[in-house]
Amino acid sequence: MATRQTQLLARALMSPAVILLFIWMIVPLALTVYFSTLHYSLLDPGSESFVGLENFEYFLTDPAFLASLQNTLVLVGSVLLLTIGLGIPLAILLDQPVIGRNVIRLMVIAPFFVMPTVSALVWKNLLMHPVSGLFAWIATSLGMTPIDWFTDAPLLAVIFIVAWQWLPFATLILLTALQSLDEEQKEAAEMDGAGALSRFIYLTLPHLARPITVVILIETIFLLTVFAEIFVTTGGGPGLQTTNIAFLVYSQALIQFDVGTASAGGLVAVVIANIVAFFLVRIVGRNLEA
């Protein structure tokens, strides 16, 4: 691929795809930037006017912003901790030779294929419902008072639901990594007198450093934008207790019909995602360098 012709040909052949993707990205971004500088309310059509950075000021000084930023970070952090903290032991269990291993693996992966709205509804109505839910039944049959999850611990409930959905992803990535751990290294450690725990700490965990990084980076991208689970279960409430940035942008646009502020919020969310990504890559990204 060194000659000038092949380089030119490659560029020419790739350009339609690249140009299409570029337009796909730049048009919505440009429109969002444009809307964010307008007074643009759907309740008052025809009154659009240029207001400069007022939408940003309004969005950033809104008390809901800081609350939802905190909720976003708590949600992302907790789900990461839960999926990796449970994913590692689960992956190790699934790596053991047991009867029906393939069926068990399939069942473990299953939650990942359930769409977020459906799984949120299942959790809301079948599991966490304070009267008819499974958890309530367990609590009452043990003589305890059922927890009303979405009133008493709404953010925790959302965290559980999202973690349940992402646990299979983490488990799967970690399981494939475990399977590539050299059998002879484990045996060498065994000969060296390392017990199961030492082998886990000195051999398995370092081997898993890279897949854990991958899980953190990929999950973070998606967890910053969790929406369906909140919309279906709590609607951001009670109060602002489960409102994250994505949900706040939604409520500005389609509950308060303020497109201008919602666009400003969208751009703020982009900046926040980049800040988070920057720190993540600084902290864990060096694991990806071979």
- Enumerate binding residues for other proteins (CB under 8 A): 182, 184-185, 187-194, 198, 202-203, 206-207, 209
**Min dist. Cβ of residue 81 to other proteins (A):** 23
Q: How far is the CB of 283 from other proteins (least distance, A)?
A: 18
Q: Which is nearer to other proteins, 17 or 196 (CB)?
A: 196
Residue 181 Cβ, how far from other proteins at the closest point, in Å?
10
| Nearer CB in complex with other proteins: 105/210 | 210
What's the chain look like in SS3?
CCCHHHHHHHHHHHHHHHHHHHHHHHHHHHHHHHHHCEECECCCCCCCEECCCHHHHHHHHCHHHHHHHHHHHHHHHHHHHHHHHHHHHHHHHHCCCCCCHHHHHHHHHHHHHCCHHHHHHHHHHHHCCCCCCHHHHHHHHCCCCCCCHHHHCHHHHHHHHHHHHHHHHHHHHHHHHHHCCCHHHHHHHHHCCCCHHHHHHHHHHHHHHHHHHHHHHHHHHHHCCCCHHHHHHCCCCCCCCCCCHHHHHHHHHHCCCEHHHHHHHHHHHHHHHHHHHHHHHHHHHHHHCC
Least gap, CB of 219 to other proteins (angstroms): 24
**Minimum distance from CB of 175 to other proteins (Å)?**
20
* C-beta of 47 vs 198, nearer to other proteins: 198
Q: Which is nearer to other proteins, 208 or 226 (CB)?
A: 208
Judged by beta carbon, residue 203 or residue 267, the one nearer other proteins is 203
